[in-house]
């Protein structure tokens, strides 16, 4: 796969002819106003995803896909709106540390019976964190529901360690290649 960088802060649209989208972690809570004022980009992302763009969104990327995000002063700003819910400040570090994701059902990129490792580290939370996976701490003493899968999107607070389950990454890239072969039907930015 060829990585094509872009900035949701300064670019107006997603790059042309992409076949997938990875929204990694970061700190959108420091840039809510700038992200929401760049009105074309959130709409470009939402439209592309609605038109079938395979997407993985982790932590900050997950918050960016939500309807709203609160800043440090309590102001709410609109985000892409692809996923229901709003991100809000907790004032405490939440669900910190390593975890293993266990799917509760058959998912597009993560199959039942498989696991993938990751970690969480965030001072923001969300009204809807998803429930298609169970996050289990290494000692097995704590777990919680997390992650959302909607259409061809896998999103949640967990930062994923792809080398812990290479099949996950292969399935994501395979979904991107399948989209390319179909000609990005219905997508205003694809081939």
> Hey, which residues are catalytic here?
59
DSSP per residue over 72-137, as a string? TTS-EEE---SSS-EEEEEEEEEEEEEEEEEESS--SSS-TT--EEEEEEEEEEES--B-SEEEE-
- Altogether, the residues listed in the chain come to a count of 191
The CA-based angle 178-181-186, given to 5 degrees, is: 90
84 backbone φψ class: left, alpha, beta (φ>0; ψ -120 to 50): beta
- What are 37's two structure tokens? 């004022």
CA dist 82 → 56, 76, 103, 174 (Å): 13, 16, 22, 23
Integer Cα distance of 16 and 61 in angstroms = 20
Q: Are 99 and 137 in contact (CB under 8 A)?
A: yes
């Amino acid at each position: 796969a060829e990585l094509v960088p872009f900035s949701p802060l300064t670019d107006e649209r997603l790059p042309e002819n992409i076949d997938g989208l990875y929204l990694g972690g970061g700190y959108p809570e420091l840039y809510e106003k700038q992200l929401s004022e760049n009105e074309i980009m959130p709409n470009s992302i939402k439209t592309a995803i609605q038109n079938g763009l395979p997407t993985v969104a982790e932590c900050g990327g997950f918050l960016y896909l939500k309807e709203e995000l609160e800043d440090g002063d309590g102001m709410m700003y609109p985000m892409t709106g692809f996923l229901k819910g709003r991100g809000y400040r907790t004032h405490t570090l939440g669900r910190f540390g390593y975890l293993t994701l266990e799917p509760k059902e058959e998912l597009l990129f993560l199959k039942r019976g498989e696991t993938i490792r990751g970690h969480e580290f965030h001072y923001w939370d969300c009204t809807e964190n998803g429930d298609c996976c169970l996050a289990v701490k290494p000692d097995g003493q704590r777990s919680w529901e997390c992650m959302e899968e909607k259409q061809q999107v896998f999103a949640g607070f967990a930062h994923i360690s792809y080398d812990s389950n290479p099949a996950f990454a292969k399935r994501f890239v395979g979904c991107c290649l399948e989209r390319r072969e179909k000609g990005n039907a219905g997508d205003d930015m694809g081939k």
